[in-house]
Amino acid sequence: MSRYWSPLVHTLSPYVPGEQPKIAQLIKLNTNEHPWPPSPRVAAAIAAELAGEAGQASGERLRLYPDPTASALRATLARLHGLDAVQVFVGNGSDEVLAHAFQALLNHRRADGTARPLLFPDITYSFYPTYCRLYGITPQTVALDDRLQLNVDDLIAAARAHDAGGVIFPNPNAPTGSGVARAEVERLLRALPDTVVVVDEAYVDFGAESALPLIAAHPNLLVVHTLSKSRALAGLRVGCAFGQAELIEALVRVKDSFNSYPLDRLALVGAQAALEDADWFERACRAVIDSREKLTAELAGLGFDVLPSQANFVFAAHPQHDAAALARALRERAIIVRHFSRPERIADRLRITIGTPAQCDALVAALREILRPQG
Ligand code: PMP
């Protein structure tokens, strides 16, 4: 407690990010980063930006503010997805883009001043309840089914029952890895035409169906992407959102009331270079998907129940072994995976990021050793 803090700060319980240990030899399968470095074009573009024009002092461009509208990057994203640049928003990681969406599009009240709740799954990305606290939004969770799948009929029923002011969910969901088909997302959008639906597609490139083709017909849809996962740029912090111009305009208003320059010069050129390398992107996504399928089969072979994943991680439980104990035993062997002790419904599972083939092999070998009957 501090007498210097605004009252709001006393009410916050911030998101706790996955551990970023400093030990180099660790096999780090805990925060869903890409196992390989990004396209080599990224480092080349950043080096060129730092070098500036011929004859200029190195770093000269850093003296100047970056483009506040990120027009070149937005044009590239628009081209990539068959949209118009006014349908594209960019920000400092999709966490920041989501924060703007919570404020700009998901915070609604009734005429009598009472809050209309924001719906999201009971097991999902834990930044959503954090942003609700920050912005004074009432959360309303919708339970995943017994197999931890999101059911669109449940979302529709809850939205009607609670007069929801918005809906948000990751697709595929995190930490479960399961996706919802595009036709189901479309059914949701049609059922709730007056409600903004935000689909957080952080992991979509690893095999799920994107809702982007639905934007043209659905003014209530905002799709959020990140370059942190499938483009291997978590360190550069670039996220984006796509929707009809009316929704994007709301995000721009919030952004310009907060920080007119969310992306620095190096992030702008690095992101652009990554998006332009389609070959790298396709090869890298395919390699992660192939590794995921192989790891899923190997974990099943060790007795794990692995949820079908469309993401760059798997969510697995072993019927005879405590997940927290397994995570500890892996850590003793220098492999870190994610274990969530809450909610209790998922405390028996481990979320394991897909690593390089060598890292996945090391994980399977370590698990085989840990699971081997003693004595
Ligand atoms: N959405 C989901 C579902 C995530 O898991 C993450 C990564 N933790 C993000 C958004 C945020 O990613 P970033 O801020 O790196 O773009």
pLDDT tens-place string over residues 285-310: 999 999 999 999 999 999 999 999 99
pTM of the model: 0.97
Binding site membership of 227 for ligand 1 (Cβ less than 6 Å): no
Atom of ligand 1 nearest to the CA of 170: 3
* Residue 186 pLDDT: 98
CA 226 / ligand 1 centre spacing (Å): 7
Annotated domain spans of the chain: 7-37+279-371, 41-276
* Residue 23 pLDDT: 72
* Residue 6 pLDDT: 87
Q: In testing the pocket of ligand 1, which one of 224, 228, 312 has its CB within 8 Å of the most ligand atoms? A: 228
Mean pLDDT on 304-320: 97
Residue tagged 């994203």 (tokens): 77
Mean pLDDT on 215-229: 98
Q: Mind listing the pLDDT tens digit for each residue in 181-197? A: 999 999 999 999 999 99
* Residue 113 pLDDT: 94
Binding site membership of 174 for ligand 1 (Cβ less than 6 Å): yes
ipTM reported for the complex, 2 dp:
0.99
Average pLDDT, the chain: 96
Task: Pick the more confident residue, 13 or 113.
Answer: 113
Q: Is the peptide bond before 319 cis (omega within 30 degrees of 0)?
A: no
CA 305 / ligand 1 centre spacing (Å): 25
Does 24 have pLDDT greater than 80?
no
Q: Alpha-carbon distance 241 to 227, whole Å?
A: 11
Q: Mind listing the pLDDT tens digit for each residue in 342-352? A: 899 999 999 99
Binding site membership of 121 for ligand 1 (Cβ less than 6 Å): no
CA 327 / ligand 1 centre spacing (Å): 22
Between 3.90.1150.10, 3.30.1360.120, 2.30.29.30, 3.30.420.130, what CATH number should domain 7-37+279-371 receive?
3.90.1150.10
Binding site membership of 93 for ligand 1 (Cβ less than 6 Å): yes
pLDDT band at 375 (very low <50, low <70, confident <90, very high): low
Ligand 1 atom 4 nearest Cα: 202
Binding site membership of 228 for ligand 1 (Cβ less than 6 Å): yes
Q: In testing the pocket of ligand 1, which one of 15, 19, 95, 229 has its CB within 8 Å of the most ligand atoms? A: 95
CA 111 / ligand 1 centre spacing (Å): 34
Q: Mind listing the pLDDT tens digit for each residue in 68-117? A: 999 999 999 999 999 999 999 999 999 999 999 999 999 999 999 999 99
pLDDT band at 203 (very low <50, low <70, confident <90, very high): very high
CA 219 / ligand 1 centre spacing (Å): 24
CATH class of the region 41-276? alpha beta
